[in-house]
Structure 1
């Protein structure tokens, strides 16, 4: 073979090696998913979820509106009561702080569980109006009947007046030590009483530990 033939042969062989190297480099790092390969999960999408805030003032206003529909006479009586102004303290509620007398301070601390929430002027008017309504019904009886004395009679009278017992009840045994506790439907506050004698009915805020029924305990 002539020198020119050898040169052409080497040139063709070199070109083949260069082409093979280019193919190998092109395939480097490239992977085709086979049947046994697991597909890569998609990138997680970032979404922001903001919980809507609860408008408690609007809910309270809606509850009062439902109350007013149930008891229009009381709604009219308390229409002009101040709302959101200076809160009036419930009976037994404290204005904050402990008495200067150490013994009185210890007593107040031990009976803090009996504290009641303060009532707004509107809630105070509403509660007092319901207390007066119940007091009048108990004093004169209902439907021509005499004043109630037993647990069943008190429960029947209050139910007939439109009061439920979701947050209270009627307590006692027969006509002995009969008392009742209820929350004014829809809006509150609490109304507590005894048919007597003497007949007592009063409105108050919920206890700081929750509910209208006076908690038992302390330390």
Structure 2
């Protein structure tokens, strides 16, 4: 990391980083490690979680625009989290927290069940080579874990610039009994709350169309 990013970890991590009790791996979350949201944010408020927050552009933009909402950025790359903290400090944000951990384990072990109002997965790694597609995040197993974490009536928002991956996402979530489509036609409208990031610009410059998907968590009853 740069000197500034190192400073972010030493000076800002106590303020922004949510420490996750580890299992065996460095970015794992130990089962039974669920946090109390009121203790983390100091209030009761809707919670929006972004998986793969990168450098934090979407989170910082959203947290600034919606101070009444709690936000959690989930990322495994330290430098990206450091940049997010620097941006959060410049914006004076109090409603944003970060966690360096594997996303499925955050949803399954760290956050209480049915605690997320909106779950965002924007531009996840497409692993576009055939031999690597098994590494993709969006699988039936992930859909089950996400359904556990999202409250009834909560929203799952996704976006990608890889058409084949978008179709896989749609196939997985259409088959998930816990989720229902919140859009008509083949794709959802672009989510207005998603700030234009470097990933989206890169995809557009390469001529790849951006495809959005939106699903609602069905009532558990």
The structure with more radius of gyration: 1
- More strand, by proportion: 2
Name the TM tier (shorter chain): under 0.3
TM-score (norm 1): 0.19
Q: Give the structure-2-normalised TM-score.
A: 0.19
